[in-house]
Amino acid sequence: MTRRPHTPSRRTLLRAMAVLPASALALGEVPGLLGTALAAAPPSGSATRYTIVPFLNSNDGTVNVYQSDDATDFRLLKSSAYTPPSNRIRDASIFKHTNGYYYITYTTHTWQDTSTTIGFARSTDRVNWTFLYDYTVPIANLSRAWAPEWFVDSDGSVNVIVSCSTTNDEWIFTPYLLKATNSSLTAWSSPVALSGIGANHIDTFIVKIGSTYHAFTKNETTKYIEYATASSLTGPYTISRTGNWAGWGSYREGPALVQLDNGAWRLFFDGYGDGTYYYSDSYDTFANWSAPAALPAVSGTARHFTVIKETVSGGPTLPKNVTRSFQSANYATRYWQVQSSLLNLPVVSGSSTTAEKQASTFTVVPGLADANGYSFRDASGRYLRHWDFRARFDTNDGTSTFAKDATFVARTGTASGSIRFESYNYPGYYLRHYSYELRVERSNGTDLFRQDSSFVPVGAWG
């Protein structure tokens, strides 16, 4: 078998990280929460939806609502969607309860002020919010209660992890657990400090995988995000990763995790030191992470948020085991076409040759790495895949790497009936045309990128 040539270090690194298959991690569709569903691309006609409710770099008196289908390109759903009746709103954490409501909990005062309460609001649609109440955290001599984060345990219990300081040292925070004692989320247990994480940690975010609790927390002395594990929600936690262990840098805060459709975990965090919001991905249960990248569109605007993931109706529909041609959404005379094994975007018309029409015709099949995704076969039986980020057709060599390279997740395109095809193993990277060549490139959140990466499935030319 022919050996693969050396590839760029970024590609090598990410592939080295892809140790576990998507099926190895079981979870639900809410950030930080354990469930039973396996990560997978959404089925035909459905879509993945990620929602964030951040406060603004310019205003901590209100929050915007953004949504995304890929956890990379967030678009504004509603500005100033919720303004509390008094005080401020910072560090809003969102989840969807079993009663169908979306809930946010949040810090109620600006950082300079004493803040002994956390706020609660709810919504039926993520857009229109109703204030519920401000809850006074019952800790003696409390000075500040900051960054409350939802956590739903495997037994269904609803919890809030909140960072608290007392008047004897108002800047030394300890994470505490509050457990809801009724289904309406209006009564809470007495606060319990998370053992092992200890004082001087803030913004603690927890996920559970199997029987292990994984905590990401900011060390307020070093300004690094640290990592700890425990077999019980309240601990004791063992902090095993400190300093710049993941390559994220310091002056980072607000870690929040969500699992992507391909099984990877994505960590979002606020790079408040440089005014950038970042994300970083892990494929091996948090041992290794991709280089942090700026979150397009909202970076520099959004501050400290968590993410909720859902599967909703209304996603793109593309039949499988049929032949189709693919028309550019913004260059209507141009279509996908194989040229010397590479995928390009030439003009194709009724006067094109039979060979050109055949080279512009593809069989749509279930994704090689995920049957809910899509793979594309040319007339000779080769599959569309990315290689050094160029789109090309190669013979399937049967490896898991090839299967992932040749699998794409369908996302809704910009024009009616159009679809965007996201790389399965490079989340946030899409097939897009540039100089009439098809490449896999990272979304930059612009309208032009969305248009260049949108294609309309049409009747086959060949």
Each residue's pLDDT tens digit, 200-246: 999 999 999 999 999 999 999 999 999 999 999 999 999 999 999 99
Q: What is the mean pLDDT of residues 95-109?
A: 98
Q: CA 149 to CA 257: how far, in whole Å?
A: 11
The pLDDT mean for the chain works out to 92
Asked whether residue 84 carries a pLDDT value surpassing 80, the answer given is: yes
Average the pLDDT over 377-406 and give the result. 98
- Sequence-distant (≥ 6) Cβ neighbours of residue 399 within 8 angstroms: none
The dihedral through the CA atoms of 333, 335, 338, 343 has a sign that is positive
Q: What CA–CA distances, in Å, run from 6 to 107, 179, 240, 387, 399?
A: 49, 52, 34, 11, 17
Q: Is residue 291 a contact partner of residue 48, using CB atoms and an 8 Å limit?
A: no
Strand pairing partners for 150? 160
What letter does residue 61 receive in the DSSP assignment? E
- Secondary structure of residue 109 in the 3-state scheme: coil
pLDDT of res. 215: 98
On the question of pLDDT at 37 being above 50, the answer is no
- pLDDT for 7: 32
Which phi and psi (to 5°) does residue 303 adopt? -130, 150
Structure tokens at 53: 């409710």
- So what's the pLDDT on residue 38? 53
Report d(CA 298, CA 334) in Å as an integer.
32
Is the confidence at residue 322, as pLDDT, over 90?
yes
Output the pTM of the full model. 0.91
**In the predicted model, is pLDDT for residue 8 greater than 80?**
no
Cα(199)–Cα(164) distance, integer angstroms: 9
The pLDDT value recorded for residue 111 is: 87
pLDDT higher than 90, residue 373: yes
**DSSP H or E run through 403:** helix 400-405
User: Which H or E element spans position 448?
Assistant: helix 447-452
Greatest distance between any 2 Cα atoms in the chain: 82
249: region left, alpha or beta (phi > 0 left; psi from -120 to 50 alpha) = left
In this model, does residue 19 exceed pLDDT 60? Answer: no
236 CB neighbour count, 10 Å cutoff:
13
- Kind plus residue range of the DSSP H or E element containing 8: none
Strands 129-136 and 169-179: unpaired
Q: Which two tokens stand for residue 177?
A: 């657990």
Confidence band of 414 (pLDDT split at 50, 70, 90): very high
* Mean pLDDT computed over 330-341: 98
pLDDT at 18 (0 to 100) = 35
Residues 108 and 118 sit within 8 Å (Cβ to Cβ): yes
Is residue 175 within 8 A of residue 214, CB to CB? The reply is: no
The pLDDT assigned to 24 comes to 30
> CA torsion angle for 289, 294, 298, 300 (degrees, to 10)?
120
pLDDT at 145 over 60: yes
The pLDDT of residue 27 is 32
Q: List residues bridging with 166 in a β-sheet.
A: 142, 169
Residue 11's pLDDT band (boundaries 50, 70, 90)? very low
The pLDDT score that the predictor gives to residue 198 is 87
Provide the pLDDT for residue 17. 35
The pLDDT of residue 22 is above 60: no
Dist CA 128 CA 443 (whole Å) = 29
The better pLDDT of the pair 2, 87 is held by 87
Q: Is residue 291 scored above 80 in pLDDT? A: yes
Q: Is the pLDDT of residue 14 over 70?
A: no
Do 189 and 183 form a contact (C-beta atoms < 8 A)? no
CA 110 to chain centre: 27
Closest of 22, 447, 13, 399 to residue 432, by C-alpha: 447
Average pLDDT rounded to a whole number, residues 282-311:
96
Tally DSSP H helices, then E strands, for the chain.
4, 34
In this predicted structure, the answer to whether residue 331 has a pLDDT above a threshold of 50 is yes
Q: What per-residue confidence (pLDDT) applies to 221?
A: 95
Tokens of 31: 């950030």
Banded pLDDT at 39 (limits 50, 70, 90): confident
How large is the average pLDDT for residues 42-52?
97
Question: Cis omega before residue 236 (within 30°)?
Answer: yes
For residue 118, pLDDT over 60 is answered with yes
Percent of the chain with pLDDT over 90: 91
